[in-house]
Amino acid sequence: MISCQKCLHDNPLGTTFCHQCGTRLVVNLADIERSVMGSRKEQFDDRVLQAGLSAISLSFFALIAALILRFSLVPTMPPLELPSPVLGSVFPEAPPAWTSRALTTAEAPAAAALPKSPRLAWRQLHAGSVLLALGIGPPGIVAWQSALLAAQQADGSVAAADPLAATALTAAALQAAPLSPAGISGAARARAWLIAHSDRLTQLPSLTRTLVALALMDADELSEVQLGALSIYLVDGAAPLWQAYLLTLYPNAQRPTSHPSLNTAWTTGVATDFFALMAGTPQVKDRAAYRLAALPATGEERLLWAVTGWNNPAMPLDLRAALHACSIGDPPPVSSDLTHACGTTAPIAVAILTVCAPLHVPPLWLYHTP
């Protein structure tokens, strides 16, 4: 461009008179050189702009294509569907041939005596058969439950530093294997006491509200309103192992799909496999981690180890041997927080829940076990 010496209007190179004021333009070599350089810069800037616009357009097209591929051609993996415990849908009336002993007609509870909760009713019908098929003696579990019942008061509560937490843990352990009338009655009394004293759950310590939610949700006695009010508090990562254990009891449509605090708080042991199971993408990161020799030493870790291994399609062959070993050994120690809140019977309650991992949710694939 050539600037007019009078009005300073920029005129194209080669112009004789100014397009603005008509003055004859005086052009020297320096003006021509500056004009040529300016034109080249403008052309370069224009090419850069066009290249940038093309790159943005290409990136946008790639993003749209990727989204179409992701959601149309490769559907999202469905969330884990833990078995729904409907009576009669898991086991037939007669147990499979490989069971060592089934409940006799005299031992099986009458239909009228079954609880309203489908899960608890299923356990009441099949707990003995499932445990015996795995080589776990029900009398040993009943003996452990007797120790819990001895610590229970007449109103169903358990005296401890945190009565709500202790009563909830006892209820969960008693109803995990409803093998005796005393245990069934004790669990019912404990739940009734919890319901009468759990009006301020959101204000309680995380461990306490998680255990109360566990006992009541397991028996289908936690209302949708209560669950909704508690939802964010049950995945805050403050009681990670118990909150992870609780995830398996959620109705499929209500199970939290995002719990970053919980994922961050629990990263040891089989945590990766557990959260993959919850996401609907079951995996076994290290098969040796489920061997009898790798049995965790602490109660809560052992509990999650058993639940993860039992519900994983790639269950190692000796998991049953490990569960049997858990049923005949001394209960392992539990965390100091749990011991302080629930008292000296806490290790026994956790041991019962661990051994009863196959009863936690009805194992639909159990009959395919050779």
Query: Model confidence over 64-120: pLDDT tens digits?
Result: 665 554 444 444 444 444 443 333 333 334 444 433 344 444 444 554 467 788 888
Strand partners, 3: 10
Q: Which of 3-7, 170-174, 257-261, 274-278 has the lowest mean pLDDT?
A: 3-7
Q: For the chain, how many residues are written?
A: 370
pLDDT of residue 82: 45
Q: Which amino acid is at 95?
A: P
Distance CA(142)–CA(148), nearest Å, equals 10
How far is it, in rounded angstroms, from Cα 136 to Cα 115? Answer: 24
Distance CA 360, CA 172 (A): 10
Least confident of 55-59, 154-158, 261-265, 300-304: 55-59
pTM, rounded to two decimals: 0.70
What is the predicted pLDDT for the residue at 24? 75
Q: Are 158 and 167 in contact (CB under 8 A)?
A: yes
In the predicted model, what is the mean pLDDT of residues 256-261? 88
Asked if the model's pLDDT at residue 281 lies above 90, the reply is: no
As a whole number of Å, the CA-based R_g of the chain is 34
Distances in whole angstroms, Cα of residue 315 to Cα of each of 125, 195, 306, 350, 366? 25, 37, 10, 22, 11
What span, in angstroms and rounded, lies between the C-alpha atoms of 246 and 168?
13
Residues 177 and 348: beta-carbon distance below 8 Å? no
Least confident of 52-66, 119-133, 277-291: 52-66
The pLDDT assigned to 224 comes to 80
pLDDT at 227: 82
334 class by beta-carbon count within 10 Å (0-12 exposed, 13-18 middle, 19+ buried): buried
pLDDT higher at 284 or 348 = 348
Phi, psi of 14 (to 5 degrees): 100, -5
**What residue type is 41 in one-letter code?**
K
Residue 162's pLDDT is what? 96
Is pLDDT at 48 greater than 70 in this prediction?
Answer: no
**Measured over all CA atoms, what is the biggest interatomic distance in the chain, rounded to whole angstroms?**
120
The mean pLDDT of 316-340, rounded to a whole number, is 88
